[in-house]
Amino acid sequence: EPEVTQTPSHQVTQMGQEVILRCVPISNHLYFYWYRQILGQKVEFLVSFYNNEISEKSEIFDDQFSVERPDGSNFTLKIRSTKLEDSAMYFCASRDRSPLHFGNGTRLTVT
Amino acid sequence: GESVGLHLPTLSVQEGDNSIINCAYSNSASDYFIWYKQESGKGPQFIIDIRSNMDKRQGQRVTVLLNKTVKHLSLQIAATQPGDSAVYFCAENIKNYGQNFVFGPGTRLSVLP
């Protein structure tokens, strides 16, 4: 069964550094998403992406965040200057005419 | 305010019993609902979905019930097994395509031997 894959599985960075989280969505899917989950809490929407542009974003997704689909397969989330409170699991998801399919996430730890 | 994750509601059931996990959704305009299972260290895994033109849908060992009048969703798991132990989230979607899904706070299901 096709899967959403995310790399790295764990990223440790220092406060103020830039990080890029990478995702390969399921190949025939057209809608792409980033969600985050602070330890032990619920899954929170960050941004959705369709037709090479952001279709919706939450209040969390401020100017420090950006997304890109640099080629036909990858979908990336960049955090320009990380803060301690950015520490969380970041999940990529994709869909077509279907439920969201999630990857196993990248655990981001900001020290 | 936001609930603290460590105080996640927990449902404990005996192995072999049926489980019912409940979810109250927020928006009467939501027209598509999904139940996800999340095991430790993994991403949410799709279990079953239902659209607002239905009030019941069955899968393998799982049933989802939708009550639009009171904005309530439930997940029933028959003959609960140890592998069912996880956190279960409901998610609602207002528009069918390209819009975000809003997740509920989650319920931890613990299956006792």
Query: What's the pLDDT tens digit per position in A70-94?
Result: 887 899 999 999 999 999 999 999 9
Cα–Cα nearest to A64, from A45, A83, A49: A83
pLDDT of residue B99: 67
Contact between B38 and B18 (Cβ < 8 Å): no
SS3 A17: coil
Residue A96 DSSP class? S
How far is B89 from chain A, CA to nearest CA, in Å?
8
Phi and psi at A68, nearest 5°, equal: -155, 145
Phi and psi at B17, nearest 5°, equal: -80, 170
DSSP-assigned letters across all residues of A69-102: --SSS-EEEEESS--GGG-EEEEEEEESSS--EE
Whether the per-residue pLDDT at B97 is higher than 80: the answer is: no
Query: Most A CBs within 10 Å: which of B6, B47, B49, B100, as the mutation test of the A interface?
Result: B100
